[in-house]
């Protein structure tokens, strides 16, 4: 089974009646793969595989529209790794890239399927949390609980190739709720 482009042409006789059909197939496997690669490059961070800024903005618009309909709160959690530039400068970009990949993985384990973990660039990540409930206080408490869990999870040591010791990092986290606005 493979994707193909099919063209069917009717062959007619002298009285314009169909006598048979001729079909021509073209294998479009490579074109489909190229389209998928282009889509992936347009909407996902090439290093971490996480949604990028463009896809985050699209999902945020959808989340706002959904919040307006359902009257449920959502949240944006901004995460910035502290002193990442120092790690990159002293240990090299390969080690910094490993850390970013591992941070992305850890963030993904702290959210639900409906939520979005994205990388804006550099050492900045954003979590889009949806459907946190109808009450502002409980939605804020849930978002804060997730942020605290993330801070603790990111505070655990990372084992990175090329380093003889564990890598420790801290993060700065900002949080805002949204609701029909």
> Which residues are part of the catalytic machinery?
123
Phi-psi region of 78 (alpha: psi -120 to 50; beta: other; left: phi over 0): beta
Is the four-CA dihedral 100, 106, 109, 114 of positive or negative sign? negative
Whether the Cβ atoms of residue 24 and residue 7 lie closer than 8 Å to each other:
yes
CA distance 121 to 41: 14
- C-alpha atoms less than 13 angstroms from C-alpha of 127 in its C-beta half-sphere: 32
CA distance 151 to 156: 9
CA distance 133 to 139: 6
DSSP 158: B
């Amino acid at each position: 089974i493979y994707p193909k482009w099919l063209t069917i042409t009717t062959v007619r006789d002298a009285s314009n009646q169909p006598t048979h059909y001729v079909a021509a197939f073209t294998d479009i496997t490579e074109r489909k793969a190229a389209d998928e690669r282009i889509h992936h490059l347009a909407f996902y961070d090439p290093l971490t595989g996480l949604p990028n800024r463009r896809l985050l903005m699209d999902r945020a618009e959808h989340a706002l529209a959904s919040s307006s309909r359902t009257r449920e709160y959502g949240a944006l959690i901004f995460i910035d790794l502290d002193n990442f530039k120092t790690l990159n400068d002293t240990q090299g970009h390969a080690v910094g890239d490993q850390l970013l990949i591992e941070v992305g993985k850890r963030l993904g384990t702290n959210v639900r399927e409906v939520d979005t973990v994205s990388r804006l660039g550099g050492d900045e990540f954003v979590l889009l949390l949806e459907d946190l409930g109808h009450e502002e206080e409980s939605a804020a408490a849930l978002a804060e609980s997730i942020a605290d869990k993330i801070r603790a999870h990111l505070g655990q040591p990372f084992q990175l190739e090329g380093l003889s010791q564990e890598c420790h990092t801290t993060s700065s986290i900002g949080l805002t709720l949204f609701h029909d606005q």
